[in-house]
Amino acid sequence: MNLDQLVAIDVHTHAEVSCRCEPDDYGKAFDEAAERYFKFAHRPTIPETIAYYRERRIGLVMFTVDAEFETGRRRIPNEEVAEAALENSDMMIAFASIDPHKGKMGLREARHLIESYKVGGFKFHPTLQGFYPNDPMAYPLYELIAEYKLPAIFHSGHSGIGTGMRGGGGLRLKYSNPIHLDDVAADFPDMKVIIAHPSWPWQDEALSVCLHKPNVYIDLSGWSPKYFPPQLVRYANTQLQHKMLFGSDFPLITPERWMTDFEQAGFRSEMKPLIFKDNAARMLGLTG
């Protein structure tokens, strides 16, 4: 990334629409429920998202979510996201998503994506993928990520996906309690662990894990900052000021809304450059 040309780095953006694959209408009820919950409708293509961020001079980390095992729905190819990042390397990094249930085939794919496509990290969604992050099933994948000293981002807390659906769409919130990441961070100290989102209703667990483990960070995506729990803002202003990362969850929340609401959320002024860009640049290995 060309850091001098960027005003911020958004570490949490979604690849929503493929330009290579037809949309998979299987599980469309999840889309409809999410649109009601998040109050949005337009799902941009990958090039549209990149153009949107380039116009605003915001760097981005983009990923799809591989939940094929749990939902039966085809993912957007990791290669499509990774190639877009290679073509826009001045302002974009791709993270890959591989469901841990894919075992050795997933390991083969992960190594190929790192070595041939230069992916910069990995995305996991325990609720959508149906696994506890500290399940030994996932450890071979973490070992590979740690081998290359890459970060891994984990959804935490409540999930808008499935909210309001009969039985929550069969998805289980228990998998996304951030306390399960304490084992992961302890067992893989060379892998940076990013706890995504304010982790309601387990915010204190997330703060504790982040405070205790040097390799753990928190991204602030998925919520407007004006709704952040007060203890999250308090720790961002003090002991965890170098471990908090700007993320929007685009297109569910726009970076403009997030950045505007940040100004009214009680953060100290000196936190802005750290949270908006500097912490992410260091975590991603873009600076010393």
**Which of 186, 190, 192 lies closest to 217, judged by CA?**
192
pLDDT tens readout for residues 166-201: 999 999 999 999 999 999 999 999 999 999 999 999
| 204 membership: H or E segment, kind and range | helix 203-212
Closest C-alpha to 65, from 41, 99, 34: 99
Q: Considering the chain, what is the average pLDDT of its residues?
A: 95
**In what order do the strands lie in the sheet containing 193-196?**
8-14, 58-63, 92-96, 121-124, 152-155, 193-196, 216-219, 244-245
- 233-272 pLDDT per residue, tens: 999 999 999 999 999 999 999 999 999 999 999 999 999 9
DSSP 155: E
What is the model's pTM?
A: 0.96
Token pair in block for residue 58: 């915001």
Instruction: Please write the tens of the pLDDT for every residue from 101-125.
Output: 999 999 999 999 999 999 999 999 9
Q: Are strands 92-96 and 58-63 parallel, antiparallel or unpaired?
A: parallel
Residue 194 near residue 245 (C-beta atoms within 8 A): yes
